[in-house]
Amino acid sequence: MERIVFLDRATFAPQIRLRRPSFPHEFVDYPQTAPGEVAERLAGAGIAIVNKVNLRGELLARLPGLKLVAVAATGTDCVDKEYCLAHGIAVANIRNYALNTVPEHAFSLILALRRSIVPFRADVLAGEWQKAGQFCFFNHPIRDLAGARLGIIGEGVLGQRVAELGRAFGMVPMFAAHKGVTGLGPLYTPWQEVIETADVLTLHCPLTPATRGIIGMAEFRQMKRHPLLVNTARGGLVVEEDLEQALEEGLVAGAGIDVTMPEPPPAEGVLMRIAARPNVIVTPHIAWASDEAQQAVADQLVDNIENFVAGRPTNLVRGAY
């Protein structure tokens, strides 16, 4: 009988149904798992389910019976994939579930920031409308999206969907060529041109050694149009200290951040310092988390496990996810 252990079930909302696999098994789930608890909880397991719990090589070496790591997300940077590949442990992830939820959240941030929704709401609650003495007031900038240049870093399904939404608003999408790479084809706009000319810059790429810190002070100083920066991908893509400085110097018009490094961010950390700014919105890694998307993740997760046990594995990861 296969032993299946889910180390962080609380990363799904309570209303999401996680069906049990159809083959004989023992299923154990924990709401959360601290680093020091992982090895003990996975002892004897053939299948580990994780969302954000780290499985590094030195820990995996203590789990000789492990055959599959089923990641309840698209990103697999929490798993030591090189170790898994070298030792015959399969890694499967979730794909194409977030086609609506992440782009919609990204545009929620873009619209809210572009039109200063949050600070205007705060002003209304503080009585500023009554003080204005007329039907409206203009304490904060308000900009249309139509005609704005939308720089997209990441050309996968999420980036493509963001481009579709941008076109619907009359924006001009640009897919950034990979940093330091040329000759990628007609889909791409040169990296430097995107950085220099975007009015809105939104990130939809994985976190890899090549993309870690891809947006830092050098890039902020090249942003001639002082764009909004939106990150619904991975926290490590943006150098947080540099973002704080860029906001302080007015190099960017604002920031919408759904992902941090680490998560949650330290109470005294950079992201919490900038979160109260009127031109910053920080959300708690929920771009992926509509009820519809979460249920799709849960269903695909169990499909991956059932297919692996049946000998026809799906969504195996070998690359940079």
Q: Given pLDDT bands bounded at 50, 70 and 90, which one contains residue 319? A: low
Q: What is the mean pLDDT of residues 146-161?
A: 97
Number of helices and strands in the chain (H, E)? 12, 12
Same structural domain for residues 158 and 252?
Answer: yes
Average pLDDT over residues 208-235: 97
Where do runs of H (alpha helix) occur along 19-76?
Answer: 38-42, 57-60
Check whether residue 45 and residue 14 sit in a common domain: yes
Model's pTM, two decimal places?
0.90
What domain count does the chain have? 2
Residue 141 lies in a domain: yes
Q: What is the CATH number of the domain that holds 208?
A: 3.40.50.720
Residues 76-132: tens digit of each pLDDT: 989 999 999 999 999 999 999 999 999 999 999 999 999 999 999 999 999 999 999
Q: Tell me the average pLDDT across 26-36.
A: 98
What is the span of the domain harbouring residue 15? Answer: 2-97+291-309
Shared domain for 182 and 277, answered yes or no, is yes
**Are both 123 and 233 inside the same structural domain?**
yes
160-194, pLDDT tens digit by residue?
A: 999 999 999 999 999 999 998 888 889 999 999 99
In a domain, 71, yes or no: yes
Task: Catalogue the active-site residues.
Answer: 234, 263, 285
Let me know whether 224 and 263 are in one domain: yes
Collapsing DSSP to helix, strand or coil, 4 comes out as strand
Neighbour tally for 253: CB within 10 Å: 19
- Looking at the structure, do residues 255 and 151 belong to the same domain, yes or no? yes
Question: What is the pLDDT at residue 242?
Answer: 98
